[in-house]
Amino acid sequence: MNSPSASMMSLKTAKPYQFWFDPNRTALVIIDVQRDFVDPNGFGSIQCGDDKVFASVRNVVPVIRKVLDTSRALGLHVVHTREGHKPDLSDLSCSKQERQMNAPSGHHSIGIGEKGPMGRLLVRGEFGHDIIDELKPLPEEAVIDKPGKGSFWATNLHRVLMARGVTHMILCGVTTECCVTTTAREANDRGFECCVLRDGTGGFNPTFVENSLDMISSYDGLFGFTAESEEFVALEPALIADVTTPPITPPDISNINLDLASLQQLYKGRAFHPSDVMQSVLSRIKDYEQTNPNVWIQLRSDEEIMADAEVLRQTYSDMPAEKLPLLYGVPFAVKDNIDVAHLPTTAACQEYKYVPTESAPVVSLLIAAGAILVGKTNMDQLATGLSGCRSPYGNLGSVYGNGRISGGSSSGSGVAVAAKLITFSLGTDTAGSGRVPAALNGIVGFKPTKGTISARGVVPACRSLDTVSIFAQTVQDARKVWHILDQPDDNDAFSKDPNTLPLSLSNYHGVSGNFTFCTPPESALESVLPEYRRCFDVAVTAMESISAKKRTCLSDETYEPFNTATELLYKGTLVQERIASIGYEFLSQNMEILHPTIKTHFQDVFNRNEPAWRVFEDQALQREATRKAERLFGMGHLRDVSDAFDVLVVPTVGCHPTVEEMEAEPLVLNAQLGTFTHFANVLDLCAISIPFGWTDAGLPFGLGLIGGKGMDGRLLDIARAIEAKMDKKQ
């Protein structure tokens, strides 16, 4: 039943009955309001064939504009679609291209791809293909280019909606009888709860328009709901009335939290500019050097940072605050194995150092979104290790002190966020390097499905297993950064086509009470120290209250693929890929200058003399273990497995060694730290570590959640629900 919860709003006069929606889980989807469809001389006017009727379709634009403004004010996700084809028309079927042109008594005198007054009709990149100026998308709003009438065929719309946790859709656009209702019908099949705003759509045949809309809500809501825009737009004043008047006294910027919400609120009033925030950041960095001097390998100069801040201020000085880029004036850092143009990349190894002329795509995307790069962070040498104690630039300690390790290999990236020197940072994660530092420093560490974020411009540790990771204070901050980075890279050989990733049915009830989880068998948890086990048990109990379902404790037999993957990573031949990735010649010629633990590790691999055939044997074992994991997570066509679960819940780490302990037993403790992180990329899974309580010694406990390939959005939904549970307890 479509019933309310505390955070939900409703359209009371919707048909066939009241339509409830949670703004946080709802997307306004504006269908095809392009020049080609609503301006004269485009494909729409040809399709319509009646100038008077066509002119009336333009009347929906002011209505959609009001709906769009309200949606932005309410915090809805916004998605725009554009129908069109590649310039070579390779995605245009013969039937679509020729059918209407071949009609004996038809009026289609110009076909798709042919030259019209606004360029080639329905061709991407042409003037007529773009969205009209009145509805111009904001930088963070998704734009879906579709070759068909519906918005899901041959697009990544479903994945975009999953990534944002969307369960409800409000639809506007053109034309009603074609693209709008086609999208609504297909969204219904995919589990989304849809409402079409009747006066926010227009079509070329009034009878067809009314019949199409009536069919959506017919038979007690066969395909969804319909409503009028007036009731939706009326929701905005109620929201505004609840907004607290900002204080007259400006906040003390030296103590302000650097999370995204705090910075956006700061910039919204225009009392502060990016240069003010960057001055505070630089001051914090200088002060923190007294406590933890080894966070950075390369800091940009104060002059460079302040110049970037001033360019941002000038570029957006006349733009309304609500239209500023998502990361406007947000400070960030990257691990020093990620390229930044004209800054040295060392991977914490001077002999490996080079100066790139181009930034990695992940860096360029963040800067384009308004973020300001502060510098490059310390790391375990060549991204080898989970300790933060393997760098010639000095060891890093946890922000919680007492001689405890920071975790690695993305040590500096984790500490910089935990110390609130920056808003977020990028690390890398091959075997846990994006999650262990998060757990040991009390922050969020998100490792997306490998191949979904570009790894170009990243020094490889193990190319088939590497992924860029995100550190942030909150799940929501990590998610917003991920939305910017989550796009395929055709020039990255390991990048995944989004259309090859599995999708899940949407559940309009949301995630709370509607997910399943399991935990490792007792044998796997034996290495977890008692105080960390206590924290884990408390977290599991909390998850049972959120999921409304008891956990499943995996048997030793069922857990076998995770153990297999862990064994393959370092004890099998997969470790040989590290040599191939870093370079056999480089390692053999520079072995003596490597950090002692790194040297021991690679010498051991060099001395194994494993037969070539064992590589293929291990690859087969990896594929078999991956398929078993897919079955456990119910991926794709395996979703019918009765005992499948959404997430595997683990302690991110089961201990927190001191630097002294780590240096005494570097390999043994490294393996122990990776007990619940090593297998994720081997099995092609996504994962996140979130803070959940404290040990008896006052150290943070990191809860690890592991999801199936491509299920990043659902994983983040669950992580946010758990985080919200913790927020209420505090």
Q: Which residues are catalytic?
A: 335, 409, 433
Question: Look-up: residue for tokens 């398929």?
Answer: 627
The 10 Å CB-count burial string (b at 16+, else e) for 299-314 is bbeeeebbebbeebbe
- What is the C-alpha separation between 575 and 614, in angstroms, rounded? 12
Burial level of 631, CB count in 10 A (0-12/13-18/19+)? middle
Q: Is 19 helix (H, G, I), strand (E, B) or coil?
A: strand
Q: Find the angle CA(453)-CA(459)-CA(463) to the nearest 5 degrees.
A: 60
- What is the C-alpha separation between 321 and 304, in angstroms, rounded? 25
- Do strands 296-299 and 372-377 pair parallel, antiparallel, or not at all (unpaired)? antiparallel
Q: How many helices (H) and strands (E) does the chain have?
A: 28, 21
The gap from C-alpha 223 to its chain's centroid, in whole angstroms, comes to 30
Show the beta-strand stretches assigned E in 254-402: 296-299, 331-335, 372-377
Nearest alpha carbon to residue 140 among 398, 397, 326: 326
Residue 404's DSSP bridge partners are 658
| Cross-sheet strand order for the sheet of 686-694 | 296-299, 372-377, 331-335, 424-429, 467-472, 444-447, 686-694, 700-707, 647-651, 517-519, 552-553
Which residue type is seen at 48? C
CA 553, 528, 723, 443 dihedral sign is negative
Residue 553's DSSP bridge partners are 519
- What is the C-alpha separation between 463 and 578, in angstroms, rounded? 8
- What is the C-alpha separation between 678 and 461, in angstroms, rounded? 14
